[in-house]
Amino acid sequence: MKKIWLHTLLTTVITGTFLVPVVHAHQKGDILLRAGVTIVAPDDSSSHIIAGADLGLGVRVDSNAQLGINVAYFVSDKWNVELLAATPFSHDIDFGATDPLGTGNQLGVTKHLPPTLTANYYFAGSAEYFQPYVGIGLNYTVFFDEKFTNANADAGLTGLTLDDSFGLSAQIGADYIINEEVLLNASVRYIDIETDAKFNLGETAGSIATVSIDPWVYTLSIGYAF
C-alpha cells in the first residue's frame, strides 16, 4: 500500500499537478493602465534675467506632485510603447538668489503638462514576478497659466509667457506582478525640458533666454493589465 501511495505521489509531481502555478507576466498584445503619485523634481538652472539691463541673477523652479496616469501597449513580449500623462503640475518660480524688487523671493507661478511617449525594454522572462525595464522616449511640455505674484504685478511685472518644450527622456522602472491582472510599478525618469521666458517690466520688454528645468520624475503606481 505504501509503494502504491509513493508511486502515485511521484507520478503526480512529475506530471506537474503539484507544481506552483507559473505567472505569465507581460505578453504581446497586453495593455497596462497604471495610476498613482508622480513627483516632478526640477534639476534646474537658467540664464540671467534681462529687463533693460542684466539683473545678474536667474530663476529657480520648485517641485510638485500630481496624479500620474500612463498607458502601455506591448508590441512584443519584451517591448512596449508607453504614454505618460498627469493632472497639471503647478510650479512656483523663484528668484535664484536675492530679491531685487523687494517683492519676496517668489517671482511667479506656472502650470504645465508633460506628455511623454516612451519605448521600454523588459529584461525578465514571462514567468518572473519582478519585471525591470529601461526606456527612452520623447517629451512635449505645454506651459500655461503663467503669472506673476500680486506683489510683482504691483511692481510693474506683466505678460509672463513660457515657450513650450520638446526634448528627450529616459527612464528605469519595474513592475511587480501580484496576479494576472494587478501589478505595482515604480519608475524614475529624466526629462529634457528647456524653455525661455518673456515678460514686461513697465514699458521695458524683459526675457530669460534659457530656463532649463530638466526634472527627475518619480512615480509610484498601481496597475491593471488587460
Secondary structure string (H, E, C) spanning 111-172: EEECCEEEEEEECCCCCCCEEEEEEEEEEEEEEEEEEECHHHHHCCEEEEEECCEEEEEEEE
pLDDT value of residue 25: 77
**Average of per-residue pLDDT across 61-73:** 97
Q: Confidence class of residue 150 from pLDDT cuts 50, 70 and 90?
A: very high
pLDDT value of residue 6: 40
Res. 96: pLDDT tops 90: no
Contacts of 128 (CB under 8 A, 6+ apart): 23, 25, 177
What percent of the chain clears pLDDT 90, i.e. is strictly above it? 75
Strand partners, 92: 109
Mean pLDDT of the chain: 89
Q: Could you give the CA distance from residue 85 to residue 171 in angstroms, rounded to a whole number?
A: 15
Q: Which fold has domain 26-225?
A: Porin (2.40.160)
Segments making up each domain of the chain, as ranges: 26-225
Cα 143 versus chain centre, distance: 16
**Average of per-residue pLDDT across 65-86:** 97
Q: Could you give the CA distance from residue 178 to residue 23 in angstroms, rounded to a whole number?
A: 9
**Average of per-residue pLDDT across 156-162:** 94
Q: Could you give the CA distance from residue 92 to residue 106 in angstroms, rounded to a whole number?
A: 7
Asked whether the beta carbons of 95 and 103 are under 8 A apart, the reply is no
Give residue for cell 526606456: 135
| Element spanning 5, H or E | helix 2-15
Q: Give tens-digit pLDDT for 206-221.
A: 999 999 999 999 999 9
Q: Give tens-digit pLDDT for 103-147.
A: 778 899 999 999 999 999 999 988 899 999 999 999 999 999 999
pLDDT value of residue 104: 77
Higher pLDDT, 4 or 85: 85
**Average of per-residue pLDDT across 72-91:** 96
Phi, psi (deg, nearest 5) at residue 137: -160, -165
Q: Could you give the CA distance from residue 97 to residue 5 in angstroms, rounded to a whole number?
A: 81
pLDDT value of residue 172: 98
65: left (phi over 0), alpha (psi -120 to 50) or beta: beta
Q: Confidence class of residue 18 from pLDDT cuts 50, 70 and 90?
A: very low
The HSE-up count of residue 170 (CA atoms within 13 Å, CB side) is 0
pLDDT value of residue 22: 55
pLDDT value of residue 127: 84
pLDDT value of residue 57: 84
What percent of the chain clears pLDDT 70, i.e. is strictly above it? 87
